[in-house]
Amino acid sequence: MSRLGDLFRRLRGKPHRQNSGAMPTVRYATSPLLASRTPPWRVKFLIGAIGLGFAVLIGRAVWIQIIHTDFYLQQGASRYERRIELQASRGRILDRHGEILASSVPAPSLWAIPKDMDASRDELKALAKLLGMPVMDLTKRLASNPNFVWLRRKVPDATALQVAALKVKGVYELRESKRQYPEGEVAAHIVGFTNIEDEGQEGIELAYQQQLSGHNGSRHVIKDRLGRVVESVGDLVPPEDGQAIRLSIDAKVQFYAYQRIRDAVAQHKAKAGSVVVLDVLTGEVLALANAPSYTPDDRRNLTGAQLRNRAVTDTFEPGSTMKPLIASIALESKRVTPNTIISTSPGRLTIDGSTISDSHPHGDLTVEQIIQKSSNVGTAKLALTMQPREMWDMFTAVGLGQKPQISFPGVVTGRLRPYKSWRRIEQVTMSYGYGLSASLFQLAHAYTIFASDGELIPMSLLKREGVGDEKPRPVLAFKAAFRPEAASPFAPTQVATATQLRSDELAPVHGARVISPETARAVRKMLNMATLEGGTAPKAQTQGYSVGGKTGTAHKQEGKGYAGNKYRAWFVGIAPISHPRIVVAVMVDEPGDGIYFGGDVAAPVFSQVVQQTLNRLGVMPDMDVQSKILSVPAEVESF
């Protein structure tokens, strides 16, 4: 009972007498803290703060779960769902017979997660040695990104195996696609190459990048925390592999041409050289060879001089190779016949204060002999009977001053000024190839008018499956008679459309008619005479086949003038003369052994390339095959 009384008294606030020595009793009812009242604003603030907190939470929930739910679903999926790209295989590049010029093969690429690596100094040294880089460079590369770095891409399989044998933690291997070029330096300037991302950088690889590359595919997968694929989700988009590109190039003819020009450049200590081989029957390019070349698989220390496909990118003054075109104009306009005699005495001709000279006096020459002996004076006299527009129309009709219509990067236009600005002396010098410029490919293309009975054959770097059914095609009819007051005899009077013909049989491709068949055959005879005794190119003769062509030799331009001891030598010819099948053009740049005439430097290359190409094409010989071609001295060329 005493305890209940004590409790009662405490509740009433009355003091309780305790025994002496006990702790004093606290009177809670009289505490100043309990006596003070809470301010009303504080209660309202607390209630408002709590209410606001609930409102924010509710709003955030609505934002996440209702308004912006798609975003957060995507973010959640991104933590475990991945989109894997399925790489398309790059298309192959083939020659006309299906031989591989470029293809893609699997290759290992090495990468690392630097933050996971714990390699020792010795392991880093060994790794750097296998990667072919200094240890310092490897260290810098690893420090550039803690999560991912490429160590070296598309390495040889042997290198990847050696790196794997080191067992360095954090170093991994990935299989990629690597471009391979079986023909190496032989076809490098045609095929070109790709960069590390498999994008075309030069040649056909660049020209047909879109067709070769194809389209990558994709698949969606779920990965676990270790990056392993657990499940495929969504639709699979398969990759579309790139198309195969089948070129008109014959790998064997390309090899012959490259081998011959490479040897000629070395023999004559020349700066460079090029060969173009055209099939005038099918309108296809059989070879484009250049020296020096390079290996597409190994482009270390590569120079711009090695990269250039000089046959289509370099221009030069064509020199005496223009003379047959001047003869064609004179014959087509009926000014002369092949046997018309023109006096070239005394071997010099002065026009407007400038003197044109032959290598030595020839006296009276027929038009045929002017081409055979390459007389500057005789050609100049033929040109002076013409209007400037006639020459300009002929030059443009055969493609000079215009970009060749082939799909290839770096193809040049050359230079041909409008005829209205020509001075008299310029008209004369252009007649034998000075004052204008062209590429070797343009010259070879121009000579198709002589090989195809007067038609300029359209050329292709892609294989044509064949032609057969005659259908409308470009026809340019030219007036035969020359009238000074009339338009140029080489102005087109009719143009029709061209169509590709059937692919089940082979027949000649037709092009734009520039001269008559009679004129073409007459000039072909002149070109044949240039390769016989008394001509400038007897070294162009070929066993079993009749040939014809024109030499060219010219001083190289330097600044605003010409170098006295630097030359270009070339030869453009046709074979066989009786039934032409190919046009071959050869150029040697800066022969340095003291021999520089086209008939001595370029004509032998022509002979060798023609021999091997016609054999490859299965063309029957049109002459008795002699055990040895008679060697006769060449006529000294005027240039």
- Specify which residues 284 forms β-bridges with: 279, 460
Q: Which amino acid is at 218?
A: S
Beta strand 245-246 with 93-94 is: parallel
Asked if 466 and 505 count as a contact pair (C-beta separation under 8 A), the reply is: yes
Q: Which of 320, 375, 431, 488 is catalytic?
A: 320
Q: With 0-12 CB in 10 A as exposed, 13-18 as middle and 19+ as buried, what is 350?
A: exposed
3-state secondary structure of 629: coil
CA–CA dist 547, 552 (Å, integer): 16
> Could you give the CA distance from residue 64 to residue 59 in angstroms, rounded to a whole number?
9
CA 547-549-553 angle, to 5 degrees, is 140
Residue whose C-alpha is closest to residue 448's, from 509, 518, 525: 509
Known catalytic membership, residue 320: yes
- For residue 179, give the H/E element and its range: strand 171-180
Q: Which contacts (CB < 8 Å, 24+ apart) does range 304-307 have?
A: 305/272, 307/202
Full DSSP string of 369-415: HHHHHT-HHHHHHHHTTS-HHHHHHHHHHTTTTS--SS--TT----B
Q: Which helix (H) or strand (E) holds 70?
A: helix 69-78
Using DSSP's 3-state secondary structure scheme, residue 180 falls into strand
* Residue from 372, 344, 340 nearest 360 by CA: 344
Strand partners, 174: 109
**Placement of tokens 């490259």 in the chain:** 258
Residue with structure tokens 């390495």?
Answer: 155
d(C-alpha 225, C-alpha 86), whole Å: 22
Cα separation, 212 vs 208, in Å, equals 6
Give the whole-angstrom CA distance, residue 70 versus residue 76: 10
What's the rounded Cα separation, in Å, for the pair 238 and 119? 40
Query: Are the C-beta atoms of 102 and 93 separated by less than 8 Å?
Result: yes
H runs (alpha helix) in 98-238: 121-131, 135-144, 157-166, 188-191, 203-207, 209-213
State the amino acid at position 156 in one-letter form.
Answer: P
601 near 539, Cβ under 8 Å? no
Sign of CA dihedral 404, 406, 407, 408: negative
Which distant-in-sequence residues (6+ apart) come within 8 Å of 616 by Cβ? 250, 252, 253, 256
DSSP conformation class of 421:
G
- Are 319 and 432 a contacting pair, CB within 8 Å? yes
Strand ranges, E, within 298-363: 315-316, 341-343, 348-351, 354-357
| Helix residue ranges per DSSP H, 416-558 | 424-431, 440-446, 448-451, 517-530
Write out the catalytic residue numbers: 320
